[in-house]
């Protein structure tokens, strides 16, 4: 049983289905997800990001830097998915899928507006500063853009559609965004950034619908003869996802106090573990349980590669490795 | 900076950054149980101590095990002494 904040609807990867039949029953279809969307509306103006400005000012430089890094990655990710979702809307398997994906596009636009408003009104930060050097835009945006461009070029090619679906709904949203939202929401609560916590809870609820859609669509794809492309798309993209989570380009100094080093390492390792667990659960849910173990092994290897790149870039171990030494 | 001054400064910083609110910290106080430090607060404290005492990058060096304020005082004093020991 997972712990959550009141009013937050978990996606199916955060509960524990027992049987194959139960798994199938838990995956809502696009018509049901559309109805859920109608019930779960929210507005950026109601969240009122400016009310966090005073608390933000009082944060330590470390907390501000951490939070800005996370918000920057989330904002960049939301901009990218807003730009690329159109390709999936143009060529979906069913009309119900198209209608759901249109609601998702409205959600993504609202998320962009939320993060940008928060950065400007609460953090008083220019967008260029947080967007520059974000690992998602450097590493994953090109991968996702190539996948969705292939759908635009050949809308009849169902394999391209399922590949883009995995990159978009299951890796970007199911693994990366879900992990980042969970850890950032925890930090927002700890730092008493109330508007941010409320906004992130709303964003998480939306993302839960999107991931649920992705899982159901991928499950249908696996059952309908596209199992290989769904499997391949996971293995093609998980390395870039692990790279984004470790972020070798971000300096992560080793704290002098051992307790601080252990805390820092546990914080980052926690994110990596959440992502790893979600990856395996998603594969089981879409009907590819036999590749979950192999995917986890590939994920672990990709994390080690990113940690090697960090050590080479900064000539010092990443806190995860320093803590393990 | 002599050892006594360094130790007093450590106590001042630890007390000032306590998540329970700024307070006087004593050498025997335990960071977690007595002063309310959690994982994030310990990281912030470590960074502040490194900055205040201009400690060298410890990326490949030893890090200090701490439970009490005294442990931090000892660590800072040892680190400050390290360059002259090496000379």
**Most A-contacting residue of B43, B61, B62, B82 (CB-CB within 10 A), to test interface:** B43
- Distance (Å, rounded) from C-alpha A282 to C-alpha A256? 38
At A122-176, the pLDDT tens digits run 999 888 877 777 788 888 999 999 999 999 999 999 999 999 999 999 999 999 9
Please state at what angle helix A227-246 crosses helix A141-153, rounded to 10 degrees: 150
Q: Residue A19: what pLDDT?
A: 47
Name which of B39, B50, B79 is nearest A263 (Cβ-Cβ): B39
Q: Residue A32: what pLDDT?
A: 92
Q: Residue A134: what pLDDT?
A: 77
B54 pLDDT band, cuts 50/70/90, is confident
What is the residue-wise DSSP string for A129-196?
Answer: HHHTT-HIIIIIHHHHHHHHHHHHH-TT-HHHHHHHHIIIIIIIIIIIIHHHHHHHHHHHHHTT-HHH
Q: Residue A116: what pLDDT?
A: 94
Q: Residue A256: what pLDDT?
A: 84
Q: Residue A132: what pLDDT?
A: 77
- Give the C-alpha distances (Å, rounded to integers) separating A99 from A15, A77, A157, A242: 27, 22, 20, 32
The residue whose two tokens read 């080093």 is A261
Q: Give the torsion sign (CA, A208, A212, A215, A218).
A: negative
Q: Do B59 and A261 touch (CB under 8 A)?
A: no
Could you tell me the fold of the domain covering B3-82?
1.10.1200
Residues with Cβ within 8 Å of A81's Cβ and at least 6 positions away in sequence, in order, are A108, A144, A168, A172, A173
* Mean pLDDT, range B24-35, rounded to an integer: 95
Provide φ and ψ at A315, rounded to 5°: 55, 35
Cut 0.90: pTM above it: no
Q: Residue B81: what pLDDT?
A: 82
**Domain extents in chain B:** 3-82
Q: Which residue has the higher pLDDT, B77 or B62?
A: B77
- Distance (Å, rounded) from C-alpha A104 to C-alpha B15? 48
Would you say B52 and B80 are in contact if contact means Cβ atoms under 8 Å apart?
Answer: no
Quote the minimal CA–CA distance from B47 to chain A in Å.
Answer: 7
Q: Residue B82: what pLDDT?
A: 73
The chain-wide mean pLDDT, for chain B, equals: 85
Q: Do A260 and B31 touch (CB under 8 A)?
A: no
- Distance (Å, rounded) from C-alpha A58 to C-alpha A13? 36
- Our CA dihedral for B64, B53, A264, A177, rounded to 10 degrees, sits at -170
Q: Chain A residue with minimal CA distance to B54?
A: A256
Architecture of domain A27-324: Orthogonal Bundle (1.10)
What tokens were used for A73? 């990655």
Q: With a cut of 50, which residues of chain A have pLDDT below it?
A: 1-9, 18-19, 22
The residue whose two tokens read 């590749």 is A291
Q: Do A256 and B46 touch (CB under 8 A)?
A: yes
Q: Chain B residue with minimal CA distance to A190?
A: B40
- List chain B residues with CB under 8 Å of A254: 57-59, 63
Q: Do A256 and B63 touch (CB under 8 A)?
A: yes
């Amino acid at each position: 049983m997972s712990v959550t904040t009141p009013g937050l609807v978990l996606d199916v990867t955060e509960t524990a289905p027992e049987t194959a039949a139960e798994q199938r029953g838990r995956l809502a279809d696009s018509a049901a997800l559309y109805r859920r969307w109608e019930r779960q509306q929210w507005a950026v103006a109601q969240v009122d990001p400016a009310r966090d400005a005073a608390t933000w000012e009082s944060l330590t430089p470390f907390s501000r830097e951490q939070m800005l890094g996370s918000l920057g990655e989330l904002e960049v990710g939301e901009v990218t998915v807003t730009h690329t979702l159109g390709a999936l809307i143009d060529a979906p398997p069913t009309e119900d899928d198209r209608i759901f994906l249109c609601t998702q596009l409205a959600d993504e636009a609202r998320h962009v507006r939320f993060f940008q408003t928060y950065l400007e009104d609460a953090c008083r930060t220019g967008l260029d500063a947080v967007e520059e050097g974000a690992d998602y835009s450097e590493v994953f945006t090109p991968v996702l853009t190539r996948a969705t461009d292939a759908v635009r070029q050949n809308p009849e090619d169902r394999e391209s559609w399922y590949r883009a679906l995995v990159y978009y709904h299951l890796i970007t949203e199911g693994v990366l965004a879900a992990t980042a939202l969970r850890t950032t929401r925890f930090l927002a609560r700890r730092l008493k950034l109330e508007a941010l916590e409320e906004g992130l809870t709303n964003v998480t609820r939306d993302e839960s619908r999107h991931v649920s859609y992705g899982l159901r669509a991928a499950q249908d794809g696996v059952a309908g003869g596209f199992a290989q492309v769904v499997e391949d798309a996971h293995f093609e993209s998980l390395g870039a996802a692990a790279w984004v989570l470790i972020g070798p380009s971000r300096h992560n100094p080793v704290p002098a106090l051992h307790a601080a080093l252990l805390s820092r390492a546990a914080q980052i390792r926690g994110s990596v573990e959440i992502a790893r667990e979600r990856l395996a659960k998603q594969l089981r849910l879409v009907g590819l349980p036999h590749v979950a173990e192999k995917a986890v092994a590939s994920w672990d290897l990709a994390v080690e590669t990113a940690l090697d790149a960090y050590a080479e870039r900064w000539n010092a171990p990443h806190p995860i490795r320093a803590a393990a030494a | 900076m002599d050892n006594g001054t360094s130790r007093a400064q450590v106590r001042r910083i630890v007390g000032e950054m306590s998540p329970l609110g700024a307070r006087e910290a004593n050498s025997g106080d335990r960071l977690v149980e007595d002063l309310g430090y959690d994982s994030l607060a310990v990281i912030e404290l470590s960074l502040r101590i490194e900055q205040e005492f201009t400690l060298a990058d410890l990326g490949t060096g030893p890090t200090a095990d701490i439970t009490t304020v005294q442990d931090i005082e000892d660590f800072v004093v040892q680190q400050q002494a390290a360059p002259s020991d090496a000379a």
